[in-house]
Amino acid sequence: MINKNSTMLLVLSALAEHIKVFALRIWQKRTFVFFLGLFTVVFLSFFFLGGAYVVWSSEQQRVERSLEKYRSEVSNFYDTFQPKSVKILDRNSKVIGEFYRRNFRPIRTDNLKKHHMLLWAVLSSEDREFFTHGGVNYAAIGRAVFTNLIQFRLSQGGSTITQQLAKLTLNLGKRNLFNKITELYCTFYIESKFSKEEILAMYLNQIFLGEGNTGVEEAARYYFRKPASELSAEEAAMLVGTIPAPSIFNPIRNLGIALNRQKRVLYDMARNEELHLVPSEIPKKFGDSIEGNLRKFRSIYKVKEFKDEEGNSKFSSEIGKYGSDKDFRINLAPDFNTEIRRFVLDTFSNEDLEERGMVVFTTLDLEKQRMAEESLRQGVDSVRGDLAKQESELNSKGQKDLSELTKTILPQMTGSLISLDPETGDIEALVGGYKISNTFRFNRAEDARRQPGSTIKALVYTLAFEKRIVNPSSRIKDEKLDFSGYSPKNWYKGYRGEMTVRTALAQSVNTISVKLLDQIGTGYFLSKLGKILSLSEEEIASRFQRNLSLALGSGELSPMELAIIYSTIANGGRRVTPRKIIKITDIDGNEFYQTTPNEAAEQLLDPVACAMAINTLESVLTEEGTMNIKRVPGEPNLFAGKTGTVQSPKTKNSRWKGLKGVRDVWFAGLAPRNITVVWVGHDEGAPFPGSGSGVSGGIWLRFTQNVKSKLGFGNRLITPFVGDFVKVDVCADDGTLLENSTEYICKMPLYQQYYYIGDLPQKRAGFAKVEITPPTNLQLNEEEEESENTYYNETGNKEKPAGVDSVELEPPVIENPKVLRDE
C-alpha cells in the first residue's frame, strides 16, 4: 500500500513539475510578446511623433509668417495695406477682367461680437467647447469615435476650430498620420501664441466656403449680398453648414443638401443658446420658430422645389444670384472670367495674390466674345418672341392654364455658346447663359449636360468611315429596322429607300445612323468617345447606356464636350485639350506660369476618315440638307456642321400639361480653324417652338459671318495632312465620279473630296439618274410636333423654302431601350 502511495506521489509530483515548467514557458512567452508589443508601440510612437515634429520644424517659420499676417488682419489696428489686383487680358492684351482677392475689411477682434449670429452658428456646429479647451477637445474626439463606431460610418468629426485653423495654415495636402500629428504641433503652437478671440477671427477669415470664397465675409456677400455682421440666423446657418465639405454642401452646387444642413445647424443653435455671445440678441422661442423662419427664408430667396424628368427632387433659388459680379471691378466676359478667377484662387497662395500682383494672359478674343453674346441674345430673344405669341394665342383660345405656363417658361429660356480653335484648343469665346442684369450663375457651356440629339451623328459617321464600313458615296437603305424590339423612327413619316451616305447625313436620317452604329459596335463607339473626352470607364458607364439609341444622341454631353468631339474631327483626329490661360506673369512681367497649345497630341481618329466626315458635314448646309445656306456662285465652301433637335418625351410631359415643342436645340458648326457649338433650351426641359437649324443654326451663322466679315479667317476647312487618300471630284446627285459628259448633267458637283485609296466612288454607269430637290414635301412623323428645315441666303437672312414648310426633328423621342448591340 505504501509502495502504491509513494508511486502515486511521485507521479503527482512529476506532473506538477511539468505543469510548472509549462506554465513558466507560457509566462515567459507572454512576457516576451508583451514587451515586444510594448517596444513596438513605443518605437512607432516615437517614430511618428519624431517624424511629424521634423515636418513641423520645417514648416514652422512659414506658418509663423502666415499667422502673423492673419493677426495683423484681425488686430484692432488694421493694416491698411492695399492688395494688388489680378488683371485678366484677352489674347490681344485687352483688359477683360480685374479682381482682388478681397475688396473689403475682414473680421477683427474689435468687431467680433457684431457677428453674433454667425458666431453662434459656428460655435454650435463646429466647436461647442471652443472657449474652454486647450486646442484639442478630447471629449469631442471620444464622442466622434463612439458615434462613428455605432453608425459604422464617418458621420462625425472631432476637430476643434484651432485644429481647423492649423490645417488651413499648414495646408499639407494629403491626409495621413504624419500630417495629423504635425497639425497637432501647430494647434498647440497657435493656442500658446494667440488669444481665443484672435484664433476665432483668423479662422473666420481663412475658412473656405465654396465657389472660390475664402472667409465668411466674402462668402456672405457672395451668397446673400450683405456683410457677415448682418446675416440672419437662417443665413448664418446655411453658411456654416457648408464648412465640412464646401464643394458638396454649398447652395449653388447642391441646394437640396444645403437646405438640410441649414436646418441641422439651426437645431444645433437652439440646443446651445448659451453659446450666443450676446444673449439679448437671441430671438424669443428660437427653437419653436425654426420651421416658420425657414419658410420666410425660402420665400425671400425664392427657393422652389420641383421634380426632374426622373422624378428626383431639384431646387432653384436666388441664393448667390449676383455672386459673380461683385468679385470683379472689370468683368467683360463673366462666365469665362469666373473660371479664371477660380483657377487663380485655387492655385496660388494668398501672399502671391495680395503682394505679388498678377496678369493673366488668356486665349479669349474680346471681339469674338462680344459677337457671341450678341448672337446668342438675338437667338434666345427670337424664341422668347415665339413663346409670347404662343401665350397670346392660347389666351385667346381660352386655355388660361397653358397660357400661364407658357408665360412662366418664357423668361427662363436661355442658351450657351462655346467657340474654340481646334488646332490649339484655345477657347476664343464662351457664353454660359443669356445675359440678364449681369446675372451669371450657371456656366451651361461647360457644366450643363444635355442630350445632344443628331449632332452626335458626326462621330458615328466618322467611325463608320474609319472602319471602312461605308464611304460618302456608298448606297445605303432607309428602311424599317427592328433590333430586339427597338425600331428607330425618322423625323419624317415613313422611309425613303436607297440613298447615298452623304444624303443620309445631310437629311439626318435616323435609321441609317442606327444601322451604322450597329455595324460599328456600341462598345467601340463608347471606347472612342471616352478617349476623345478623357472619360474613365466608370464615368462612361454612368452617363451612357450601351445601346443603339446612342446613334441618336441619348447620352448626355455638355456644349464643351461636344465642341471637343468636333474639334477632334476638325484637326485630323488629334486629341484636343481646351485651353483658357496662355501664361501668368507678375506686374513686372516676370513669368511664373505657362501652358502650351494643343500640339503633337495623341492621334485618336484616322485623319482621312475625319476629312471625309467634314466633306459629308458640308452637305448639311446645302440644298439637300437640313440647313441650306445659299452661297455666292464660285465661292469656296468654308462651312460645315450638324443640327440637333431633341423633343421632350411624351411619357414625361405631365409637368408641362401637353404643351407642344422641343426640349433642346443644338448646332455644331465648322469654319476655318474654328469650332462653335450652340445650345438653346430651358434648364428644366420645358417645351418651346424651334429647331436646331432654325434657332441654334441661326445663332451660329450670325456669329460666324460676323467673325468672317469683321475679323476674317482662313480659306480652307480641312488642314493638309499625310495619309492614305486621294481627292476626286464627285457628283452629289448620286455619289458617282464627276465626268465630263454632256449626256448627264450634275446639279450638285463636289470638288476635291477625300476618299481612301482603293475605295473610290463608282462611275455613273450602273446608277439611275437622281433628281435632287430640297426636302420640303416630306410629311411629319405623326408623333412629331413642330420645327422646320431652314434656308438662309448668303447674308444669313432666313428665307422660306419654296414649298410647304417641313420639319427637322430628330430624334422623335429619345428612348433608352435595353438593346445591346456590340461587336
What would the DSSP string read from start to end of 702-724?
A: HHHHHHHHHT---S-SS----SS
Angle, alpha carbons 514-516-519 (nearest 5°): 110
Q: What is the mean pLDDT of each run of 10 residues along the chain (823 residues)?
A: 55 62 60 58 57 72 84 68 82 92 75 91 92 80 54 55 88 69 84 92 90 86 88 95 89 91 94 85 87 94 79 82 71 90 85 81 97 94 92 90 90 93 95 62 85 95 97 94 89 88 93 96 95 94 91 93 97 95 92 83 94 95 83 78 84 69 93 96 88 89 94 89 91 87 77 91 64 48 44 49 29 36 36
Name the phi and psi angles at 665, rounded to 5.
Answer: -125, 135
Q: What is the pTM of this model?
A: 0.71
Q: Which fold has domain 388-433+447-799?
A: Beta-lactamase (3.40.710)
Looking at the DSSP bridge assignments, the partners of residue 621 are: none
**What dihedral angle (degrees, nearest 10) is formed by the CA atoms of 350, 356, 362, 364?**
80
Angle, alpha carbons 722-728-734 (nearest 5°): 135
Q: What is the pLDDT of residue 625?
A: 83
What stretch(es) of the chain map to CATH 1.10.3810.10?
1-80+102-334
| Cβ proximity of 753 and 460 under 8 Å | no
Rounded CA separation 564/459 (Å): 11
Q: What is the pLDDT of residue 565?
A: 97
Q: What is the pLDDT of residue 783?
A: 45
Rounded CA separation 768/765 (Å): 8
Looking at the DSSP bridge assignments, the partners of residue 563 are: none
Q: What is the pLDDT of residue 773?
A: 46
CB 5: neighbour CB atoms within 10 A? 9
Angle, alpha carbons 612-617-623 (nearest 5°): 125
Q: What is the pLDDT of residue 811?
A: 35
Rounded CA separation 20/14 (Å): 10
Q: Residue 432, SS3?
A: coil
Q: What is the pLDDT of residue 159?
A: 84
What stretch(es) of the chain map to CATH 3.40.710.10?
388-433+447-799
Angle, alpha carbons 784-790-793 (nearest 5°): 175
Rounded CA separation 699/709 (Å): 16
| Cβ proximity of 269 and 233 under 8 Å | yes
**Would strands 358-362 and 627-629 be described as parallel, antiparallel, or unpaired?**
unpaired
Q: Could you tell me if residue 572 is left (phi over 0), alpha (psi between -120 and 50 degrees) or otherwise beta?
A: left
Rounded CA separation 362/336 (Å): 10
HSE (CB half, 13 Å, CA atoms) of 618?
25
Q: What is the pLDDT of residue 787?
A: 37
Q: Which fold has domain 1-80+102-334?
A: Penicillin binding protein transpeptidase fold (1.10.3810)
Q: What is the pLDDT of residue 177?
A: 64
Q: What is the pLDDT of residue 819?
A: 39
Choose among 763, 760, 773, 772: nearest CA to 743: 763
- Cα dihedral across residues 543, 809, 396, 653: positive or negative: negative
Q: What is the DSSP letter of 649?
A: P
Q: What is the pLDDT of residue 140?
A: 61
Residue with cell 383660345: 397
Q: Which three cell numbers stand for residue 711?
A: 475679323
Q: What is the pLDDT of residue 530?
A: 95
Give Cβ neighbours of residue 445 (< 8 Å, ≥ 6 apart): 335, 416, 417, 418, 430, 431, 432, 558, 559, 560, 679
Please name the residue ranges forming H helices in 274-417. Answer: 290-300, 323-326, 334-347, 350-351, 366-396, 400-409
DSSP readout, 516-538? HHHHH-HHHHHHHHHHHHT--HH
Q: Starting at the earlier edge strand, list the strands of the sheet with 427-431.
A: 427-431, 413-420, 674-682, 664-671, 640-646
CB 766: neighbour CB atoms within 10 A? 8
Rounded CA separation 423/568 (Å): 9
- How far does the chain reach from its first CA to its final CA, in angstroms? 94
